[in-house]
Amino acid sequence: MTERFVKIYPRFERFWHWTQMALIFVLMFTGLAVTGLNGLIPFGPAVMLHIIAALALIVLWVFAIFWHITTGTWVHYVPTTKGLFKVARFYAWGIFKGEKHPYRKAYWRKHNPLQALTYLALKLVLFPAIWVTGVIYLTYNFWDSSVPNATLWLTIVANLHLLAGFAIAAFVLAHVYLLTVGGSFRAHVRPMVTGFDKVDLTPEEESYLEQDEPVRIR
Amino acid sequence: MPTRVLTAVAVSLLLGASGALSQEGSAPVISGEGSTADHSKFKILQKEFTSGPEVTEACVSCHTEADDQVMHSIHFTWEFEHPGTGQLLGKRNVINAFCGNVAGNEPRCTSCHAGYGWDDMSQTPQQEAVTPDCLVCHDRSGEYTKTATGAGMPPLDPVKPGTKTITGAEAWPVDLSKAAQSVGMPGRENCGQCHFYGGGGDNVKHGDLSSVLFNPSRDVDVHMSPEGGNMVCSDCHVSDQHSWAGSRYDVMAADTKGPGMPHERRDVATCQSCHGTAPHPATLKGVKLNDHTDKLACQTCHIPEFARGGVATKMEWDWSTAGKMGEDGKPLSVEDYTQGDGKHRHTYLATKGDFVWEENVAPIYEWFNGQVEYTLGDETIDPSKVVEVNRISGDPGDGGSRIWPFKRLDGRQAYDAGLNRLAYSHVWGPTTDSAFWTNFDWSKAIEAGMKAAGAEYSGEYGFVDTHMSWPITHMVAPAEEALDCAECHAADGRMAGIDGVYMPGRAPFSMAGVLGLALVAATALALGIHALGRIFTGKNGDAS
């Protein structure tokens, strides 16, 4: 086993990640203003910006879903229980004893089992929850006349949207916090900027990458 | 602000001057350029008229159906049978929270009747053979007016000194011949001389109809301002055979039809009948604003405040304190309010009690389906509660209601304490021994008022708190001065008391808001404890 820098986040994935980060930040900032918890931007402009950012994010997601399917990258998110408990135990306990992180990154499996499960939940539950409720909320005037008790349904949908938004905010907090765990913040962020991360390679993997995909390895 | 004041001053000067100008015999102003008829060339109008009805006679010799049309209009009958409630309304029948009632006070109140000499409310104007008044609406020279207490008659030579017109100006002898030769379609001056002075003075009653609208600046009324649309009342209140669109008793609260087909005639006074049902531009913001039209009346955002432009409106009127005499033994009067145009307004009058005036007033808001129900004189009231003189109907779920802006007058007025009904009172009558404004004796005034109205009276009276609601629909501001989103989309915003809508921004700490904040706080707490653990142990794993 040797540790080498291998490109595991291609250009589109990095573009997707950072654009999504910016849009989610805009959405949280304006969303808090719309719900009355942020006075730094007036209500009207907040609504406009929220809608524009939301539509942009939906377009980005359409591209990202297409990219995951066509490149086969979706396999990174297939959940596994193998090693899951070890990782959880590390964060809850081992870290305080200076233990080594139990997961070793592979270039064909870039997330640890806990990470993969979290991202999968985010992509399959929270993100759909926020955009489905958001689209229903936004298109209220198209369905209110054909649905009985439309105002009640709108209230429910808007509250679910709000809850989903807060849940994503909680994820963002944990996500950023974990960048400080086990190594420096800079070291954790760098791969998502350069695309290259330190990965354990078998001699076979190393020689394959050097010979067949030399641009992916440093 | 200074320009607004200046405009208001200019308007009042112009108004005051209109009478003086007319006396100088200047050439009549003919409105309706391009008309096929110049009325100054009509032989029948080139004579000395000695009374108003004589002029009407000359008018109907050509306009053969006009008098019949007018006599069937609410301007003449002062009666309106509500199609929804069946209530018989109109000035002839209702009791309001301002001057109360017409019955018993006729020549004063009927000074603004569109006819000559209606002095008994127990008779219809037809029964009294009242002649319609053409000139009050159609004189375009500013020459014509009516005296304040003459049951609709104009002041004619010789005018008794001290006589006032219906706008409160010093009366001048009207040259009927000149007025008759100057007729045209009604302008703001015609409608305004009565409608801007309802309740006994400038803007007293409506709040959104004041003398400012004779010549408003653009920010006061974008439609009627010469700097804006320069429109007249009848541009919106379209008429058909002397019957006008736009009723305050039976309002079209929601218009989902819009302008209709090209050339289609729509006899409504709604905003949508010109502006359509999706009036905002096809931008993201415009689409979002159009989304509001299923809940809000246009007026709610586009008339952010009423009583603008320097003329105040009466917001409270307490009749119960009336009757105080000053130290000189004369009826007390206090002028303690100075409005934007510099004019002083009475805050107490021995004849009328205490008033509160306000300007640039933010309306109150109610769901409104257009139906207004009155507490009529035969209805039993609960004097322990505030009596709604006119009840606003509406429900968020009925599809036909919209959230409308209202002026609400807080009143305190006389009621029959034995029968628990609103009381009619006889206030005007310089020569009677029962009129309140002459004798300051409520028991006589109410007894006479009840008698004039033909109502039963127990002989006991008291004063009851009342509310009276006036839909706000005039003084539409320019688009750029429409209400800002945050005026309503905020905790304690303008829609604080309105239910039946979901409004983001109104309740930051709703159930979902609190749960969400708790979730974020719990996450932060957990991460904080984790971070403290790392700091305390001095270890940070080794996950490189």
Q: What is the pLDDT of residues B184-200, one digit of tens each?
A: 999 999 999 999 999 99
Identify the pLDDT of residue B32: 55
Nearest chain A alpha carbon to B511: A159
Nearest chain B alpha carbon to A154: B502
CB contact under 8 A, B508 and A169: no
Q: For residue B542, what pLDDT band results from cuts at 50, 70 and 90?
A: low
Q: What is the distance between the alpha carbons of residues B109 and B90, in angstroms, rounded to a whole number?
A: 13
B544 interfaces chain A, CB cutoff of 8 Å? yes
Tens-place pLDDT, residues A139-171? 999 999 899 999 999 999 999 999 999 999 999
B261 interfaces chain A, CB cutoff of 8 Å? no
Neighbours of A97 (CB within 10 A): 10
Q: What is the distance between the alpha carbons of residues B444 and B433, in angstroms, rounded to a whole number?
A: 8
- Is pLDDT above 60 for B60? yes
Please state the length of chain B: 544
- Is pLDDT above 90 for B79? yes
CB contact under 8 A, A43 and B543: no
Q: What is the distance between the alpha carbons of residues B134 and B137, in angstroms, rounded to a whole number?
A: 6
Q: In B52-185, which ranges are continuous DSSP H helix?
A: 52-62, 66-71, 74-77, 106-109, 135-138, 176-181
Q: For residue B313, what pLDDT band results from cuts at 50, 70 and 90?
A: very high
Q: In A72-124, which ranges are continuous DSSP H helix?
A: 84-92, 113-121
Q: What is the distance between the alpha carbons of residues B337 and B318, in angstroms, rounded to a whole number?
A: 16
CB contact under 8 A, A183 and B507: no
B405 preceded by a cis bond (ω within 30 of 0): no
Q: Say if residues A113 and A80 touch (Cβ distance below 8 Å).
A: yes
Identify the pLDDT of residue B17: 42
Neighbours of B432 (CB within 10 A): 16
3-class state of residue B399 by DSSP:
coil
B283 interfaces chain A, CB cutoff of 8 Å? no
More confident residue, B539 or B96: B96
- Is pLDDT above 80 for B34? no
Q: What is the distance between the alpha carbons of residues A157 and A31, in angstroms, rounded to a whole number?
A: 15
Indicate the burial class of B270 (C-beta count within 10 angstroms; 0-12, 13-18, 19 or more): buried
A182 interfaces chain B, CB cutoff of 8 Å? yes
A147 interfaces chain B, CB cutoff of 8 Å? no
Cβ-nearest to B504 among A34, A95, A151: A34
Identify the pLDDT of residue B25: 39
Residues in chain A within 8 Å Cβ distance of B487: none
Q: For residue B334, what pLDDT band results from cuts at 50, 70 and 90?
A: very high
Which of A68, A58, A66 has its CA nearest to residue A131?
A: A58
Q: Say if residues B494 and B487 touch (Cβ distance below 8 Å).
A: yes
Residues in chain B within 8 Å Cβ distance of A4: none
More confident residue, B32 or B445: B445
Which of B95, B94, B91, B98 has its CA nearest to residue B353?
A: B98
Q: Is residue B207 part of a domain?
A: yes
- Is pLDDT above 70 for B237? yes
CB contact under 8 A, B523 and A140: no
Q: What is the DSSP letter of B377?
A: T
Task: Quote the radius of gyration of chain B (alpha carbons, Å).
Answer: 28
- Is pLDDT above 90 for A26? yes
Q: Is residue B147 part of a domain?
A: yes
Which residues form the domain of A83?
Answer: 2-216
Cβ-nearest to A48 among B284, B291, B531: B284
Cβ-nearest to B523 among A94, A155, A170: A170
- Is pLDDT above 80 for B7? no
For residue B230, the Cα-to-chain-centroid distance in whole angstroms is: 20
Q: Is residue B58 part of a domain?
A: yes
B169: which residues sit within 8 A by CB, 6+ positions away? B15, B16, B19, B145
Q: For residue B33, what pLDDT band results from cuts at 50, 70 and 90?
A: low
Pairing of strands B461-471, B333-334: unpaired
Identify the pLDDT of residue B229: 94
Q: Is residue B340 part of a domain?
A: no
Q: Is residue B321 part of a domain?
A: no
- Is pLDDT above 70 for B413? yes
Which of B377, B437, B387 has its CA nearest to residue B410?
A: B387
A156 interfaces chain B, CB cutoff of 8 Å? no
A22 interfaces chain B, CB cutoff of 8 Å? no
B84 interfaces chain A, CB cutoff of 8 Å? no
Average pLDDT for chain B: 92
CB contact under 8 A, B500 and A151: yes
- What's at B475, amino acid-wise? M
Q: What is the CATH number of the domain that holds A181?
A: 1.20.950.20
User: Considering its fold, how many domains does chain A have in total?
Assistant: 1
Residue B289, H or E segment: helix B284-290
- Is pLDDT above 90 for B14? no
Neighbours of A93 (CB within 10 A): 11
Q: Is residue B171 part of a domain?
A: yes
Tell me the longest C-alpha to C-alpha distance in chain B.
112
Q: For residue B10, what pLDDT band results from cuts at 50, 70 and 90?
A: very low
Q: Is residue B448 part of a domain?
A: no
Neighbours of B382 (CB within 10 A): 9
What integer is the mean pLDDT of B67-87? 95
Which residues form the domain of B132?
Answer: 2-248
Residues in chain A within 8 Å Cβ distance of B501: 151
Q: Which residues between 521 and 540 in chain B have a beta carbon less than 8 angstroms from any beta carbon of chain A?
A: 522-524, 527, 530-531, 533-534, 537, 539-540
Buried b (16+ CB within 10 A) or exposed e, B383-392: beeebbbbeb
Residues in chain B within 8 Å Cβ distance of A94: 541
Cβ-nearest to A181 among B513, B516, B540: B540
Q: Say if residues B506 and B490 touch (Cβ distance below 8 Å).
A: yes
What integer is the mean pLDDT of B446-456? 96
Identify the pLDDT of residue B538: 82
User: Considering its fold, how many domains does chain B have in total?
Assistant: 1
- Is pLDDT above 80 for B296? yes
- Is pLDDT above 70 for B378? yes
What integer is the mean pLDDT of B36-46? 93
More confident residue, B478 or B247: B478
Residues in chain A within 8 Å Cβ distance of B502: 151, 154-155, 158
Q: Encoding tokens for residue A11?
A: 């250009």
What integer is the mean pLDDT of B402-412? 98
Q: What is the distance between the alpha carbons of residues B71 and A148, in angstroms, rounded to a whole number?
A: 47
Q: Using a CB cutoff of 8 Å and minimum separation of 24, what contacts does B39-48 make?
A: B39/B180, B39/B181, B39/B182, B39/B183, B40/B181, B40/B182, B42/B181, B45/B177, B45/B180, B45/B181, B46/B177, B46/B181, B47/B177, B48/B176, B48/B177
Q: What is the DSSP letter of B45?
A: G
What integer is the mean pLDDT of A96-124? 88
